[in-house]
Structure 1
Amino acid sequence: MTNKTDQDKTPGTPVEDIVDISTQAEEKEDLQSQLDKMKDQWLRAVAELENTRKRAQKDREDALKYAATNFSRDILGVYDSLARAADMIATVDQASEENKGFIDGVNLTLSELNNIFGRHGIQKVDPLKQAFDPNFHQAMFEVPTNDVEPGTVVQVMQIGFTIHDRLLRPALVGVSKKAD
């Protein structure tokens, strides 16, 4: 008596074996193709994750670097007032003991504000006698003259400021033009 399981173990006809091998080869190619596709997707996902990590790191660094930008813009008015006060000191009687304390206070406050600006990467843009640069200067008027090259800053109405590599406030300037 033949056992049914013994018949299942017997090899089929050679044609069936060839078809079976052919089908297995196609399945293997299909699986290899799927594997290659998955590897590619995985590599792309890893690269995207790394790019996202780098972008997030740069965003954090920029946030720290430029966190004080709005506050800095607001404090520039205070700087301007102190600078004007320091300029006016030349007209005050500096020999007077009463004036000496005031003068020292204004100068020390302005000096401290300059130190704070320096610690936070805030730099002055004072372009007198430099070529006009629309990235850092705002032309308020033109001055006809032949003494300097046209396009040279001949007067600074208000100095500008940068924070690291970004403009906080442009310098307000008068620019030379060729005299008629």
Structure 2
Amino acid sequence: MTQKPATENPNAEPAVDEAAPQSPEEIIQANFARIEAERDDLKDKLLRTLADMENLRRRTEREIGDAKAYAVTSFARDMLGSADNLRRALESLPESARAAEEPALKALIEGVELTERDLVKTLERHGVRKIDPQGEKFDPNMHQAMFEAPDAEIGKGLVSKVVQSGYKIGERVLRPALVGVSAGAPKPQAADGGDAAPSGH
């Protein structure tokens, strides 16, 4: 008796051939996804490059501005001695000399004053400004304290005397102002004999 061959299961799914070619739609979809990923990567790189370029542009502008502003620093510092000497010459004149009617002396004083004003204006044109902090709050970044003394006319911590003017170039201190600082009003003296400590005899 001959044996019947086993019948195939009619509900079984056919085996999928993994090497089977993709449909045109699948190929287009895969290529589209790859191109989108490449586009996003290139966009990210472009944005990073643009940000780097903007940072470089700003830094370069700042460095050029600083170079222009501070190029004359050494020269300006050397010129401060001349400005100081002119100021000292004017301050050393007694009032009687200023009040004198002698034409030669008056012309000399006016000439020195004019030279000092011109020098200060020339420095200002190059970004160098005078620091004259009389009556202002003491600032250790801008001023150098030479002494502290009681002063009834000016509050504690304020500049009571400018010993030597300072100078700034741009936002930097070229030379701090030498100043005296008020310690406030002097303390009242105790009356003689009233609060004296008893002697140890």
Query: Above 0.5 in TM-score?
Result: yes
124-133 or 24-33, larger mean C-alpha shift: 24-33
Equivalent position SS for 1:106: helix
| Greater helix proportion | 1
CA distance in 2, matches of 1:15, 1:66: 73
Q: Which runs of 5+ in 1 are unaligned?
A: 1-12
Aligned twin of 2:181? 175
Which residue of 156, 162, 167 corresponds with 1:156?
162
Pairing 1:139–2:139 present: no
> Counterparts of 1:43-122 in structure 2 under 5 Å?
43-90=47-94, 93=97, 94-122=100-128
Equivalent position SS for 1:154: strand
Contact 1:153 1:174 in 2 (8 A): yes
Going from structure 1 to structure 2, the CA distance change for 1:96 and 1:145 (only over 3 Å counts) comes to: closer
Equivalent position SS for 1:16: coil
CA distance in 1, matches of 2:165, 2:52: 44
Percent of counterpart pairs with the same letter?
Answer: 38
Which residue of 33, 40, 44 corresponds with 1:36?
40
Contact 1:92 1:99 in 2 (8 A): no
Amino acid across the alignment from 1:167: V
Aligned twin of 2:3? none
Residue deviations 1:99-127 (CA, integer Å, cap 9, x gap): 33432331221121122123223222111
109-118 or 20-29, larger mean C-alpha shift: 20-29
CA distance in 2, matches of 1:82, 1:176: 28
60-69 or 71-80, larger mean C-alpha shift: 60-69
Deviation of 1:145 after TM superposition, in Å, equals: 3.8
CA distance in 2, matches of 1:110, 1:41: 58
CA distance in 2, matches of 1:161, 1:92: 31
Residue deviations 1:18-59 (CA, integer Å, cap 9, x gap): 388657644543342232112111121122112212221222
Aligned twin of 1:129? 135
70-79 or 114-123, larger mean C-alpha shift: 114-123
TM superposition score normalised by structure 1: 0.78
Aligned residues between the structures: 168
Equivalent position SS for 2:161: strand
Going from structure 1 to structure 2, the CA distance change for 1:105 and 1:139 (only over 3 Å counts) comes to: same
Report which of the two structures shows the higher radius of gyration computed on alpha carbons: 2
Contact 2:151 2:160 in 1 (8 A): no
